[in-house]
Structure 1
Amino acid sequence: ITIRLIDIQVIRSDRFAQRAAGQQERQVILDARRGRISDRNGVDLAVSLPATSVSINPRKVRRATGLARQISAITGEPSDAILRRINRNDRSFAWVARNIEPEVAERIRALDPDAMMLLSGTRRVHPLAGLSGQLLGHVDIDNVGGDGIELLYNDALSGRSGWIRTLVDARGDRVPNTAAPIQQAVNGGNVALTIDADYQAIVEHELSLAIEATGATSGQAILLEASTGAVRAMANVPLFNPDVYRAVDPSVRRNRVISDPYEPGSTFKIVTASAVLSEQVITPTDSIDCLNGSIEITGQRIRDTHPNGKIPFREVFSRSSNVGTIIAAQRLSSDDYYRYIRRFGFGAETGVGLPGESKGILAPTTRWSGRSHATIAIGQEIGVTALQMASAYAALANDGWLMRPYVVDRVLAHDGSVAQHATPLRVRQVVPESVAHQMVEMLTSVVDEGTGKTARIAGLRVAGKTGTAQIARADGRGYEIGAYTASFAGFLPDMEPRLVCV
């Protein structure tokens, strides 16, 4: 016996002490408060508020079925789902409800106070009813970012959890007054976006009205500062409120401004026009024979909506002649034309850094058919995102310089110090400054006297281009009958800063 006692109390005392501690102690996580996301002026877009979670010791539950019904009446969760969690005699812990209003949690605990326990935490809320919802993204029940800014900056926003250790009795219940703090939680930092909440609200409202008026199924819009690349608004309709993300179809949660490429149609003609002007194979005043609105390419006929004969190239652009644009594009080699497409940023990610960004659809010239050069020139057989298109127009509004778009202005650590601050970044000069100025004048003529007259604003010059493109079939075989993507891209040339809108 003496030898055995020496073995237990001296030789292996540390091992047995650790085993006893494991049976008697429980570690309780102390949640850090998730940082807030705000617009560029400090308006809160996503914040974390106090919340309470309710846990239960199933071994103490006496009337599980009746209790599940009572809890269901308060939370709205089906009683059978609750019953499956609380009717378990093989465990001493289960969640009843997570991250709910403290007052609701108290009502639930009052149903069986001996079996239930309240734990403090936080829940994510959006004070402006989900403004910029797809950009912000959502957090899950454990306050972990699932997409958008919440995912991209999850580490900075989350902070660092702390914990306490507390003693438990043989039934797994916490022993009162035995909790000792081991590590304090460190709250998360804050993220300030380039988004302007006022601009965002206007864009979302106007986009919603346009969709209602036209009967469209969805819409996208972006407002981009040309000289810096700062995104001032990024909108998707149907709108999405991250507060109820579990009840929303994933397709609605997707930020289609960056993720969904579409055939741009005539808005893409800025690339064709910029390329031929830069290569000096044509001038704005050169005459183009539009062949009375019809041209044959590899045995297939491409037509204009309104036939034209010989007109200056600037009118080819303002009248949006497909035939005239194709004839102009044919003065370039496919390799040279492809180079300009890539220089404008198409076929590559923009560098905005948001999760889920698409690089669009652009085949290399080795995979072009005999028709590709012509159809791409008029915005078909190519897929672009709204952000890519806005960046391309912004390059023309910015003297030919393509800027990297960005949506995060700064990241602040939990102590208020600046952990990250964005600065505008020039990517490359896409076209000479003189060509950019020519393109601005040609875009202005589109609105003044061409196909973009509905974009006129009294007393202001507007530069822009309309586009209407058929929607490609999902199987890649032709186009959906009667389905179109209608778009407009433009800016106010006399406004500083120049804000490009798509």
Structure 2
Amino acid sequence: MVDGSLLPGTLNVYKEAIDGDDVILTIDSNLQSIVEAQLQETIKANNATKAWAIVVEVETGKILAWGNYPTFDQNNPKEISNYMNDMTEMNLEPGSVMKPFVYATAIDTGVYPAGKSYTAGSFTFTQDGAGKIIRVANGTDTGYPVINDALGENFGVITFEQGLAFSSNIAICELLANYVNYDQFSNYLDKFGFYQYVDIPFVPETTGVKNITSASDYLSTGFGQASALTILQLVQAYSAIFNDGKMMKPYVVEEILNPHTNQVVEKFEPEVVSEPISAETAAKVRELMAGVMADGATGDRFKIDGVDIIAKTGTGEIFNEETHKYDENNYTSSVMAAAPGNDPKIMVYWGMQSTNYLGYSAEPFKTIMQAALIANAVNGTAQASAPQEGDTWATYTMPALINHSIEYANEKMKDKNVKLVMIGDGNTVIDQFAKEGQTVYSYDRVFLLTNGNTITMPDMTGWTRKDITAFWQL
């Protein structure tokens, strides 16, 4: 009938839904749980209104965990106040985490003033007839806004290396006014992929806003204000610094499988987007970022005992859409970090928005970084990334050892600098981890399950989560 009710004797046909394909993510579920818990702790401990964290494998771009808070319960759709993914859709003025890209531009174009000094504190400027920015004496009325170092700091006369360690805005102004020119900086912002779609599959994005037309906005963009970007853009750009100049596209979908045939419908592989800087430039920027972690520098609070970290911190002003002014008490606080410092494997970007921008706790970041290193069997110490004389540091392809004798396995593994763990007292290998064809690294644990019935509990002191998981799975 016209009202949709059924007439007696008519046939009602139901069409059952057909299951779609399975989507396999790059996300490590255990690490994701830790990130989620630490974001809650960030909100609680720092009275923050927003918090986020993302963990990425440097050499591949795989996103191992990501999250932002406050979140929502999908079972209560009426309570969802914000559907936006802050990682890809929030336009963010990130603050000083942008500064390494100014240094990278200066180094890559051959104009970086290594070892030279400048006067910090305040930057008063005007422009000449050709538009060049000219620094003038403080107190001069030029009609342009004076740029200051954060919190009214005045570091006096310091080197540009110290300028990054102390996060001096004036170092950026000096570099952009007297060494790097407008066209160079604009070009490198484009080369690093800022204000463009990262084009990550299946995830909605915004592009941010490139705002460098005026002199003050040009200078401010160099220390992370005036122009707005997305967190995913920032992560992709930093991969070039951490990965010897090769910029990796972040991705979160590993593959799509047909659940009925188990056939791969689509597979996603690591992708080098471009090489915006040379490997030499990347190494120099990493060296400068190591100074950020020095005693008394801005990264001091993010130190982790026994872990060699390079980082750049950021404190950013937040533009209030209602007042059309920057908030006076609410700021973005964040850190972009990677470990081990001289051969980064894992990168973490953690941040929040809060009125507590001076004495906030860095413990959530530390917990996430430590968990990420453990979950991926990465030794974060300087010794691991820089072997001493006589040590070896290499990668190996795991041979097929299943159904072979213990003697054969020992022979095949004797030239590999790994730690063999035999499970059981048998004489034949019946399972192995890592699997045939997988890559293993120096000092990794390799587990061989034998056909013996007696299993002795090993000493697991110092084992990673990955090691313990492999043991119990075997």
Indicate the TM-score class for this superposition, using the shorter chain for normalisation: 0.5 to 0.7
| Superposed displacement of residue 452, structure 1 | 0.8
| Superposed displacement of residue 243, structure 1 | 3.0
Q: Which residue of 1 is the match for residue 248 of structure 2?
A: 403
| Superposed displacement of residue 423, structure 1 | 0.8
Structure 1 residue aligned with 2:173, among 326, 347, 361?
Answer: 326
Q: Give per-residue Cα distances to partners, 1:160-185, cap 9 Å, x unaligned.
A: xxxxxxxxxx426659xxx8x9x886
Q: Which residue of 1 is the match for residue 29 of structure 2?
A: 197
Give the TM-score taking structure 1 as reference length. Answer: 0.61
**Equivalents in 1 of 2:217, 2:181: separation in Å?**
12
**Equivalents in 2 of 1:91, 1:349: separation in Å?**
46
Q: Which residue of 2 is the match for residue 70 of structure 1?
A: none
- 1:362-381 to 2 correspondences below 5 Å: 362-363=210-211, 368-381=213-226
Structure 2 residue aligned with 1:448, among 294, 299, 305?
Answer: 294
Q: Give per-residue Cα distances to partners, 1:360-416, cap 9 Å, x unaligned.
A: 1113x5xx1121221111111111111111122221110011111111000001321
- 1:58-69 to 2 correspondences below 5 Å: none
CA contact (8 A) 2:246 2:272 kept: yes
- 1:15-30 to 2 correspondences below 5 Å: none
Q: Give per-residue Cα distances to partners, 1:339-368, cap 9 Å, x unaligned.
A: 1111111010112134430111113x5xx1
Q: Taking structure 1 as reference, are residues 211 and 297 closer, same or farther at Cα in structure 2, changes over 3 Å only?
A: farther
What secondary structure is seen at the aligned counterpart in 2 of 1:448? coil
Q: Taking structure 1 as reference, are residues 483 and 494 closer, same or farther at Cα in structure 2, changes over 3 Å only?
A: closer
| Superposed displacement of residue 283, structure 1 | 4.2
**Equivalents in 2 of 1:501, 1:215: separation in Å?**
22
**Equivalents in 1 of 2:16, 2:222: separation in Å?**
61
**Equivalents in 2 of 1:474, 1:201: separation in Å?**
33
Once superposed, which parts of structure 1, at least 4 consecutive aligned residues long, lie more than 4 Å away? 172-175, 183-186, 494-497
1:382 lines up with 2:214 in the alignment: no
Q: Which residue of 1 is the match for residue 89 of structure 2?
A: 259
| Superposed displacement of residue 468, structure 1 | 0.8
Q: Which residue of 1 is the match for residue 80 of structure 2?
A: 249
Structure 2 residue aligned with 1:392, among 237, 254, 278?
Answer: 237
Q: Which residue of 2 is the match for residue 227 of structure 1?
A: 59
**Equivalents in 1 of 2:286, 2:264: separation in Å?**
38
Identity of aligned residues (%): 28
CA contact (8 A) 2:208 2:229 kept: yes
What secondary structure is seen at the aligned counterpart in 2 of 1:420? strand
Q: Give per-residue Cα distances to partners, 1:129-161, cap 9 Å, x unaligned.
A: xxxxxxxxxxxxxxxxxxxxxxxxxxxxxxxxx
Q: Taking structure 1 as reference, are residues 324 and 194 closer, same or farther at Cα in structure 2, changes over 3 Å only?
A: same
- 1:154-173 to 2 correspondences below 5 Å: 170-171=7-8
| Superposed displacement of residue 284, structure 1 | 3.7
1:434 lines up with 2:252 in the alignment: no
**Equivalents in 1 of 2:187, 2:334: separation in Å?**
25
Q: Which residue of 2 is the match for residue 340 of structure 1?
A: 188
What secondary structure is seen at the aligned counterpart in 1 of 2:199? coil
Structure 1: runs of 5 or more not aligned: 1-22, 24-88, 94-169
Q: Which residue of 2 is the match for residue 150 of structure 1?
A: none
Q: Which has the higher helix share?
A: 1
1:281 lines up with 2:111 in the alignment: yes
**Equivalents in 1 of 2:343, 2:109: separation in Å?**
30
**Equivalents in 2 of 1:237, 1:312: separation in Å?**
39
Q: Which residue of 1 is the match for residue 5 of structure 2?
A: 92
CA contact (8 A) 2:148 2:170 kept: yes
CA contact (8 A) 1:190 1:411 kept: yes
Q: Which residue of 2 is the match for residue 360 of structure 1?
A: 208
What secondary structure is seen at the aligned counterpart in 2 of 1:360? coil
Q: Taking structure 1 as reference, are residues 207 and 369 closer, same or farther at Cα in structure 2, changes over 3 Å only?
A: same
- 1:290-305 to 2 correspondences below 5 Å: 290-291=119-120, 293-298=121-126, 299-305=144-150
Whichever residue aligns with residue 277 of structure 2, its letter is V
Q: Which residue of 1 is the match for residue 140 of structure 2?
A: none
What secondary structure is seen at the aligned counterpart in 2 of 1:430? coil
What secondary structure is seen at the aligned counterpart in 2 of 1:243? coil
RMSD: 2.3
Q: Which residue of 2 is the match for residue 312 of structure 1?
A: 159
Whichever residue aligns with residue 209 of structure 1, its letter is E
CA contact (8 A) 1:224 1:394 kept: no
**Equivalents in 2 of 1:492, 1:280: separation in Å?**
27
- 1:46-125 to 2 correspondences below 5 Å: 90-92=3-5
CA contact (8 A) 2:103 2:112 kept: no
Structure 2: runs of 5 or more not aligned: 127-143, 350-474
| Superposed displacement of residue 477, structure 1 | 3.6
**Equivalents in 2 of 1:207, 1:398: separation in Å?**
27
**Equivalents in 2 of 1:480, 1:282: separation in Å?**
34
**Equivalents in 2 of 1:495, 1:278: separation in Å?**
19
CA contact (8 A) 1:471 1:479 kept: yes
Give the TM-score taking structure 2 as reference length. Answer: 0.65
Structure 1 residue aligned with 2:306, among 455, 459, 466?
Answer: 459
What secondary structure is seen at the aligned counterpart in 1 of 2:99? helix
What secondary structure is seen at the aligned counterpart in 2 of 1:195? coil
Q: Which residue of 2 is the match for residue 492 of structure 1?
A: 339
Whichever residue aligns with residue 322 of structure 1, its letter is N
Q: Which residue of 2 is the match for residue 207 of structure 1?
A: 39
Q: Taking structure 1 as reference, are residues 184 and 370 closer, same or farther at Cα in structure 2, changes over 3 Å only?
A: closer
Q: Taking structure 1 as reference, are residues 297 and 353 closer, same or farther at Cα in structure 2, changes over 3 Å only?
A: farther
**Equivalents in 2 of 1:487, 1:204: separation in Å?**
17
Aligned residue-pair number: 327
Q: Taking structure 1 as reference, are residues 171 and 435 closer, same or farther at Cα in structure 2, changes over 3 Å only?
A: same
Whichever residue aligns with residue 80 of structure 2, its letter is D
